[in-house]
Amino acid sequence: MGQKVNPVGLRIGIIRDWESRWYAERDFGDLLIEDIKLREHIFKRLANASVSRVEIERSKNRVELIIRTARPGVVIGTSGENVERLKKECEKITGGKQVNIRVVEIANPDLDAYLVAKAIAEQLEQRASFRTAQKRAIQRTMRAGAKGVKTLVSGRLGGHDIARSEGYSEGVVPLHTLRSDIDFAIAEAMTQYGLLGVKVWICRGELLPGQMVTEPEAPKRPVRSGRRRPTRPRPERREAKKEATGVVEPSQPVSKDKENEQGGSE
């Protein structure tokens, strides 16, 4: 069973939480369609921002969007311009409800299955070898601290007429062990020979009973002020500038103590 079902869906309620956290009775279907439209719009709008997942929380008249991305600067923009523009667009989709957007930076993008699958798909679109793309992704993921990783690419590999699948794996990926934190994602690559599918499984370790998967956030970077401290000139540059301008430093005056010492020695 673990080989067939989606590993993320199989572990929801056991070690993973839902990506949409809200409750509704009569308008459940309308809100579900609204969530789908919000996610489609955000992924399309932020296609170059390495967005991995969008979590949605709702109250009566408020919608909170949690965007997990590897490039928060692209999502936020200069002085928050991109976030404000995205917020207004999402408010139109929700029918005028108040929308709050929180951007969370992913601590290690190489341990995120969607970002790894997306990177493989982008390499395939640039006509890279599907074997090389998978092996490089596996090496980066294992170097980042994963317990195991498995990749699979399907389609007309190498331009052959008959579609096939080829994958690689390293480490352990126990799909039947429900306490194992396994991240799974699917991506697509549009090539000149057709569409190629990319699947990635990443095992990030095991959890103790009662624990839930928590996504680690990257540490906050210090905020720099607009004005920077001027750098001091190097000694060799200072000497070269003096020689060019012909400025000679005045000799330093000798203190009275040193004069007395010199007189006493004589």
Confidence at residue 154, expressed as pLDDT on a 0 to 100 scale? 97
- Residue 223 domain-assigned? no
CATH number of residue 175's parent domain: 3.30.1140.32
Is the domain of 11 the same as that of 101? Answer: yes
Give me the tens of pLDDT residue by residue for the chain, a chain 266 residues long: 678 899 999 999 999 999 999 999 889 999 999 999 999 999 999 999 999 999 999 988 899 999 999 999 999 988 889 999 999 999 999 988 999 999 999 999 999 999 999 999 999 999 999 999 999 999 999 999 999 999 999 999 999 999 999 999 999 999 999 999 999 999 999 999 999 999 999 999 998 777 787 776 666 655 454 555 555 656 666 666 666 666 555 555 555 555 555 555 55
Is the domain of 144 the same as that of 171? Answer: yes
Confidence at residue 212, expressed as pLDDT on a 0 to 100 scale? 82
- Residue 97 domain-assigned? yes
d(CA 148, CA 133): 17
d(CA 146, CA 200): 13
Cβ–Cβ < 8 Å for 153, 117: no
Cβ–Cβ < 8 Å for 180, 201: no
Q: Residue written as tokens 């990030």? A: 204
- Residue 265 domain-assigned? no
Could you say which of 175, 190, 206 is where a domain stops? 206
Confidence at residue 60, expressed as pLDDT on a 0 to 100 scale? 85
- Residue 266 domain-assigned? no
pLDDT digits (tens, 9 = 90+) for 192-222: 999 999 999 999 999 877 778 777 666 665 5
CATH number of residue 83's parent domain: 3.30.300.20
Confidence at residue 229, expressed as pLDDT on a 0 to 100 scale? 59
Please choose, from the candidates 12, 96, 99, the residue with its C-alpha nearest in 3D space to the C-alpha of residue 59: 99
d(CA 103, CA 20): 16
Q: What angle do CA 55, 59, 64 make, to 5 degrees?
A: 35
- Residue 152 domain-assigned? yes
Could you say which of 50, 71, 106 is where a domain stops? 106
Confidence at residue 58, expressed as pLDDT on a 0 to 100 scale? 93
- Residue 147 domain-assigned? yes
Question: What residues make up the domain containing 90?
Answer: 7-106
- Residue 229 domain-assigned? no
- Residue 233 domain-assigned? no
Number of domains making up the chain: 2
Is the domain of 17 the same as that of 99? Answer: yes
SS3 161: coil
